[in-house]
Structure 1
Amino acid sequence: MSIKIVPLGAGQDVGRSCILISFGGKNIMLDCGMHMGYNDERRFPDFSYITKNGNNINEMIDCLLISHFHLDHCGAIPYFTEMVGYDGPIYMTAPTKAICPLLLEDFRKITVDKRGDSNFFTAQMIKDSMKKVTIINLHESVKVCDDLEIKAYYAGHVLGACLFKITIGSNSIVYTGDYNMTPDRHLGAAWIDKCKPDVLITETTYATVIRESKRTREQTFLKKVHNCVLEGGKVLIPVFALGRAQELCILIESFWERMGLKIPIYFSTGMTSKANNIYKVFINWTNEKIKKNFVERNMFDFNHIKPWDSHYADNPGPMVLFASPGMLHAGTSLNVFKKWAPDPKNMVILPGYCVAGTVGNKVLAGDKIIEIDRFNKINVNLKVENLSFSAHADAKGIMQMIGMCEPKNVIFVHGEKEKMKYLARQIEDEIKIPVYYPPNGKTVTINTKRNIKVDLSVDFENSIIILRREKRIKMEQATKVLRIFFLSLLRMSR
C-alpha cells in the first residue's frame, strides 16, 4: 500500500496547519488552521489543491480531525465548511469543541468588525460549522467508515489537545498536532502507546532547541518581572487567551502571594470568566495536582489578577498585563505595546513562538522601528525578553515521541526548513529511519510493506520436520522448499 502526505499548510512553515493524507482509498484532513502572518487569502490553507480539477470537496475528503483549539490549527474551519462547502464529519475532543468557537468569534471581531477585512466568515458560520463536529474521547476508537478507524491520545500542550492515530487495515499513521513531553503546572505530558505506525507526522516548532529546566525558566521569568516593576516599569506579557496564559497566571499569582506584592496584575481578555468555567468543566484534562486540590481550591480563581480596562494603559506607575493575542499581531496586546514601547523603563516578555510577519516576530528580531501599516510606526525602546514557556516539544521531546511510538517513517511539519533539516539528519543518523519535510503542496509517497498472513497446514509443517529428522534433505534444501512455497503464495495474492 502507498501512503500519500501533502501539507496544504504548515509545510516548512508555522501556521495554517492542514495536512492531507491518502491511503487505503481514503482521504483524511489533519487540522484546518489559519496563518497569523497574513491578512489576505494566504491566511487560509490552499484548498484549491483538492478542488482544482473540478473535484467535489465532499467526495474527496472522508473526515477532518482537529488536534486542538489554537487558531493556527482550527481557525479555517468555518471558511472550509461554510464557504468552501465541506459537509463531512469533523472530530475533536470536548474541550476543543467548547473553546474553539470562543476563539474564532474573538478573532472574527478583531478581523472583520474592527479592521473591516472582507472574504471572512461570519458569526453564524462559526455556529453552523460547530454543528458538524463529533466529539471523540481520549483512548476511544471511532470507526469513521468502512475500515477507517481513529483513536485519540493525550497531547498536553493545551486543554483538550490530542494526538490522533489513524488506522486502515494493517496500516496506520500518527499525527501529533502540537504536543508537550514535559508536564507543567496545570497539564500532564503527552503520551501514546508503542503502536509502531507506518508514518509519524510530528510538529517541529522547536526542532533545534533543548530547553533549560522548567524551574530555571520560571525563576528567570519572575526575576525579570519583579525587577521591572520595582523600578517603576510596566510589563506586557502577550499570551493567547487560553493555554500559556493560565500556566503563567498560576506562576505569578503564587509569587505575588509569597512576596506580599500589591502591584496590580491585569488580564486583558474578556474570556477570563468563560475560561475559568471551561477549566472547571474539564478539570479531568488537567494534571493530578490540579485535580487533587480542586475540591479545596480552584487554581484558576486568581486573587491578584484583575480584569483589564483599556484606560488603565495610561495609568502612572508599575503594573503587569497579560494581553492577547500572543504574537502582537492585533487586539489589546498590540494596542498596549504601541503605548508602552517607547519607554525604556517598560518591558515586553514574549513567552511563546511568533510567526514570521507578525509584530512579535519583528520585536524578537530586534527591530527598533516597526511599521504596523502605511500610517503607523512604533519606536521600540522598551526591554525585550524571550522566555520560552511555549508548550511545544523541544528537540529532546520530539526524539522522545519517536522513541515512544516507534514509527517506520517520520514526516516533519509545523516548523522552519533549516531546523527540520538539522533534526532530520540527527534522526536518520541515530535512529536509522527515513525523515521527510515537504513544503506546502509537495506530496510525499511512502510505500509500505505488504503483510500476507499465511496459515501453514499441520501436515506441511510436519513434513518439513520429518524430512529434517530423517536427514533426507539438508537445511538449505528445506529453506528452499519454503521459499518456493511463499513465492507462489505471493504471486497468487497479486
Structure 2
Amino acid sequence: MAEIKVTPLGAGQDVGRSCILLTIGGKNIMLDCGMHMGFNDERRFPDFTYITKTEKLTDYFDCVIISHFHLDHCGGLPYMSEIIGYDGPIYMTHPTKAICPILLEDYRKIMVDRKGEKDFFTSDMIKACMKKVVTINLHQSIQVDDELEIKPYYAGHVLGAAMFHIRVGQQSVVYTGDYNMTPDRHLGAASIDKCRPDLLISESTYATTIRDSKRCRERDFLKKVHDCVDKGGKVLIPVFALGRAQELCILLETYWDRMNLKVPIYFSLGLTEKANHYYKLFITWTSQKIKETFVKRNLFEFSHIKPFDRAYIENPGPMVVFATPGMLHAGLSLQIFKKWAPVKENMIIMPGYCVAGTVGHKILNGVRKLEFENKQTLDVRLSVQYMSFSAHADAKGIMQLISHCEPRSVMLVHGEAAKMGFLQSKIQQEFGVDCTFPANGQTITIPTKHSISVDVSLSLLKREAHLASLSPPDPKKRKVLHGALLVKGNKLQLVEPSHAFRELGLEEHHLRFTCTVTVEEDGSINQTADKIYQLIRGKLKECPVQYSSDGSITVSDVLIKVSGDEDTKHILVSWSHQDEDLGSYLLQLIRTEYTQT
C-alpha cells in the first residue's frame, strides 16, 4: 500500500508562515514558503532545520510551489533560497511572479531600513530568488520530471492566486493555498475540476464562520464610514496593497459618486498606481464584470480616491485613508493608527483577518492600552470595527469545495486549532472521510489504495461483448473477465488463455464440463432439437448459433446434443473452461424451459 506524508512547518494549527512539506510517490514538494507577521525573531520564518539537519534543501526538494503573493505565503522565499540555499525550480503564476518581488521589497525596506533588522534578505537576494521562478498558466499541466505533474486552478482570493493539483502516478493531492468560493466586484470565484484526489489540503481561516449577505455587509460598511466622516471623524482602513483594497475602493468610489460626497479618500502613495498597472496587465484574472467593462471604463481609475502623503496625517477635518499593511504590524497603517488612536471621534475598520501578535489582532481582542518595543504606550480611544471583507472561503465555502472535489481524505491548515476541530467533525459527519489538522512539525501519513492498470486483449473483449449479449449488464455489479494475466516488462496484460500458452511456448490442455438434462417429451429427437435451437436463437439474437444435420447445436464452444426415444429425451450440454459463463447460461435456459412446460 502506497502512502502520502504531510508535515506543516508553518500554518499548522496557526495562521501565518504557510509552509507545508509534501511527500508523494517518492517526491518531496514544498507548498508555499511564508513569513509570520506576529514575530520579529527567528520564528518569523519556517524552521528549515527540520530538513537541513540531514540534507541540503536543493537535494531534498523536487520543487517549490507558491500559491499567491501574500507575504504569509511567499515572504520566506528569498531567505529559504538565498540564505539557507535552494537552487531548484519555484513554480507560481505570472501575476504572482510580477507582484511578489514588489511586496517583498516593500517589507524588506520596513524591516531593514526603518527598524534596523539584521539577518534579513537583501534586494539582490530577492532578484536572485525570482530568477529561479518558473511561471505556469491556469489549467496548464507541467511535468516537473518524468513522474511529477502539477496543474494550477483559479482560486479567487487575490490576483494570480491558484490552487494546485499535484500528481505522481495514481497518487494525487490538491493544495488550495488561500481561496474564495464567492465572486466579488473585482475577482471571480475559485473553481477546480472534479479531480477526486487522495488528499485535499485546505486553508481553514474561517472554519466556523458563515458570512451574512455580502450586500448587507457592504451597506453596513458604507453607513459606518459615512456616519464617522459626517461627524468630523477620520476613518483608517488597513489593507494589503492588492486584493481587498481594490474591492473596497470600488465600493467607496461608487458610493461617493452616488451621494455626491466631498470628504477626501486617500490611498498609500504609489501603491494605487502599481495596483492599477497589474490589474490592467492581468485583466484576464479579474471578474467577468471588469473584463466586460474594461474597454469602455477602467474601474480601477478612481476620481474620488487620491494618493496619500504622510503630511496629511496631521490635517484637520474628516478623511478616509486606505493604508498598508493590513494587520497594523508595521508601515504607514501603524504610523497613522498611532496618531489617530487617542481621538474617540475617529474610527478604524479592520476588513480582514489579523495574525496573533500583531497590533490589529490585539485591538480586535479588546486591548485598549498598547505597549510598543521602545516602551511607548498608547491609549486606544477611537472606535474599533471589524467587518469581514476577507477573500477567504468561509465554512460553507470549504464544505462546497470538498463536495465538488470529492477527495478521499481532507487536511485542514492555516487556521486556529479549536475552529479546525469543529470543522473536522462536520466534514467527517457529512462526507464520511478522514479529516486531520496537524500542528507544526507533526507528520501525518495518508494511506492510498489504487488499482493497477492492465491492458486487455481485443479478442478477450470481443468474447466478453459476446457474453454480455446473453443478459443486460448490471452497472452496480463488478464485471469479471476470465483470462490469463501476463507480465511483460513493466506492463500487465489480460489475454485469452490460448494466447498466453502460445507466448510461453506451452501445450494447451482443454478441460470440458458436461451436464445432461432428462425430460419427458413426446415427438422425435429432431423436433426437440429444433425447439431448443429456436429457444436459443430467440434469446441470443446477436450470437451465431450453428444447427448441424445430425441434430447437434453449437454456440461458440458449447455443444448441445439431443438423444433418446419417442417418450424420453436426454439433452447433453458440454462446454470448455473458457466458455463457462455461456455453458452455464444455456444449461439454465434449457432447465428453465422444461421446468415451466
TM class by smaller structure: over 0.9
Q: Does the aligned pair in 1 maintain the 2:460–2:483 contact within 8 Å?
A: no
Match of 2:225 in 1: 225
3-state secondary structure, aligned to 1:134: strand
In structure 1, C-alpha distance between the alignment counterparts of 2:452 and 2:305, rounded to whole Å: 62
Match of 2:419 in 1: 419
Distance 1:297 1:482, change over 3 A: closer
In structure 2, C-alpha distance between the alignment counterparts of 1:186 and 1:319, rounded to whole Å: 24
Match of 1:75 in 2: 75
CA-to-aligned-CA distance 1:316-344 (integer Å, 9 cap, x gap): 11000001000001011111111111111
Distance 1:447 1:235, change over 3 A: same
Tell me the C-alpha RMSD between the 2 structures.
2.3
Distance 1:2 1:376, change over 3 A: same
CA shift, 1:374, in A, is: 4.3
Q: Does the aligned pair in 2 maintain the 1:32–1:73 contact within 8 Å?
A: yes
- Is 1:274 aligned to residue 274 of structure 2? yes
CA-to-aligned-CA distance 1:133-158 (integer Å, 9 cap, x gap): 11100110010111111101000000
Letter in 2 for 1:444: I
- Is 1:14 aligned to residue 5 of structure 2? no
- Is 1:23 aligned to residue 24 of structure 2? yes
Match of 2:542 in 1: none
- Is 1:236 aligned to residue 236 of structure 2? yes
Letter in 1 for 2:113: D
Letter in 1 for 2:394: D
Match of 1:202 in 2: 202
CA-to-aligned-CA distance 1:365-405 (integer Å, 9 cap, x gap): 01110112242111011111100000000000000110111
CA-to-aligned-CA distance 1:216-273 (integer Å, 9 cap, x gap): 1100000000000000100000001111001100000010000000001111243221
Which aligned runs of 4 or more in structure 1 are off by greater than 6 angstroms?
A: 458-470, 481-486
In structure 1, C-alpha distance between the alignment counterparts of 2:374 and 2:52, rounded to whole Å: 36
Q: Does the aligned pair in 2 maintain the 1:241–1:269 contact within 8 Å?
A: no
CA shift, 1:68, in A, is: 0.4
Match of 1:388 in 2: 388
3-state secondary structure, aligned to 1:446: strand
Match of 2:344 in 1: 344
In structure 2, C-alpha distance between the alignment counterparts of 1:183 and 1:141, rounded to whole Å: 25
In structure 2, C-alpha distance between the alignment counterparts of 1:317 and 1:368, rounded to whole Å: 24
3-state secondary structure, aligned to 1:158: coil
CA shift, 1:50, in A, is: 1.1
CA shift, 1:297, in A, is: 1.2
Q: Does the aligned pair in 2 maintain the 1:269–1:323 contact within 8 Å?
A: no
Q: Does the aligned pair in 1 maintain the 2:180–2:392 contact within 8 Å?
A: yes
In structure 2, C-alpha distance between the alignment counterparts of 1:255 and 1:86, rounded to whole Å: 49
Greater Cα shift, 460-469 or 169-178: 460-469
3-state secondary structure, aligned to 2:28: strand
In structure 2, C-alpha distance between the alignment counterparts of 1:76 and 1:328, rounded to whole Å: 19
CA-to-aligned-CA distance 1:23-49 (integer Å, 9 cap, x gap): 111101100101000000100011111
Please list, as runs of the form range in 1=range in 2, the aligned pairs for 1:225-264 lying within 5 A after superposition.
225-264=225-264
Match of 1:46 in 2: 47
Distance 1:269 1:38, change over 3 A: farther
Match of 1:398 in 2: 398
Distance 1:465 1:360, change over 3 A: closer
Distance 1:316 1:440, change over 3 A: same
CA shift, 1:52, in A, is: 1.3
Letter in 2 for 1:319: M
- Is 1:327 aligned to residue 327 of structure 2? yes
In structure 1, C-alpha distance between the alignment counterparts of 2:292 and 2:396, rounded to whole Å: 30
CA shift, 1:213, in A, is: 1.1
- Is 1:370 aligned to residue 370 of structure 2? yes
Letter in 2 for 1:45: P
Letter in 2 for 1:135: T
Please list, as runs of the form range in 1=range in 2, the aligned pairs for 1:347-358 lying within 5 A after superposition.
347-358=347-358
CA shift, 1:454, in A, is: 3.5
CA-to-aligned-CA distance 1:144-190 (integer Å, 9 cap, x gap): 11111110100000000000000111111000000000000000000
Greater Rg over alpha carbons, structure: 2
Match of 2:189 in 1: 189
Greater Cα shift, 108-117 or 274-283: 274-283
Distance 1:121 1:457, change over 3 A: same
In structure 1, C-alpha distance between the alignment counterparts of 2:224 and 2:412, rounded to whole Å: 35
CA shift, 1:450, in A, is: 2.9
3-state secondary structure, aligned to 1:49: helix
Distance 1:43 1:269, change over 3 A: farther
Q: Does the aligned pair in 2 maintain the 1:268–1:308 contact within 8 Å?
A: yes
In structure 1, C-alpha distance between the alignment counterparts of 2:459 and 2:320, rounded to whole Å: 80
Distance 1:264 1:453, change over 3 A: same
Letter in 1 for 2:114: K
3-state secondary structure, aligned to 2:349: strand
Match of 2:140 in 1: 140
In structure 1, C-alpha distance between the alignment counterparts of 2:223 and 2:464, rounded to whole Å: 75
Match of 1:92 in 2: 92
Match of 1:407 in 2: 407
In structure 2, C-alpha distance between the alignment counterparts of 1:83 and 1:59, rounded to whole Å: 16
3-state secondary structure, aligned to 1:402: helix
Q: Does the aligned pair in 2 maintain the 1:269–1:324 contact within 8 Å?
A: no
Match of 2:179 in 1: 179
In structure 1, C-alpha distance between the alignment counterparts of 2:363 and 2:466, rounded to whole Å: 78
Match of 2:34 in 1: 33
Match of 1:2 in 2: 3
What count of residue pairs does the alignment treat as equivalent? 481
Please list, as runs of the form range in 1=range in 2, the aligned pairs for 1:294-309 lying within 5 A after superposition.
294-309=294-309
Letter in 2 for 1:159: L
Q: Greater RCO between the two (CA within 8 Å, min separation 6)?
A: 1
In structure 2, C-alpha distance between the alignment counterparts of 1:484 and 1:50, rounded to whole Å: 49
CA shift, 1:452, in A, is: 1.4
In structure 2, C-alpha distance between the alignment counterparts of 1:249 and 1:318, rounded to whole Å: 17
3-state secondary structure, aligned to 2:125: helix
CA-to-aligned-CA distance 1:271-307 (integer Å, 9 cap, x gap): 2211111111111110111011111111111111111
In structure 2, C-alpha distance between the alignment counterparts of 1:20 and 1:371, rounded to whole Å: 36
Match of 1:290 in 2: 290
3-state secondary structure, aligned to 1:145: coil
Match of 1:310 in 2: 310
CA-to-aligned-CA distance 1:36-89 (integer Å, 9 cap, x gap): 000001000111111112x12111000000100000000011001100110000
Letter in 2 for 1:235: V
Distance 1:304 1:484, change over 3 A: same
3-state secondary structure, aligned to 1:190: coil
In structure 2, C-alpha distance between the alignment counterparts of 1:374 and 1:107, rounded to whole Å: 20
Q: Does the aligned pair in 1 maintain the 2:32–2:66 contact within 8 Å?
A: yes
Distance 1:459 1:126, change over 3 A: closer
Letter in 2 for 1:24: G
Distance 1:431 1:483, change over 3 A: farther
Q: Does the aligned pair in 2 maintain the 1:327–1:355 contact within 8 Å?
A: yes
3-state secondary structure, aligned to 2:8: strand
3-state secondary structure, aligned to 1:150: strand
CA shift, 1:460, in A, is: 7.0
Q: Does the aligned pair in 2 maintain the 1:16–1:32 contact within 8 Å?
A: yes
Q: Does the aligned pair in 2 maintain the 1:63–1:90 contact within 8 Å?
A: yes
Percent identity between the two aligned chains:
64
In structure 2, C-alpha distance between the alignment counterparts of 1:228 and 1:298, rounded to whole Å: 29
Match of 2:589 in 1: none
Letter in 1 for 2:169: G
Letter in 1 for 2:20: I
**Larger strand share, 1 or 2:** 2
Distance 1:462 1:189, change over 3 A: closer
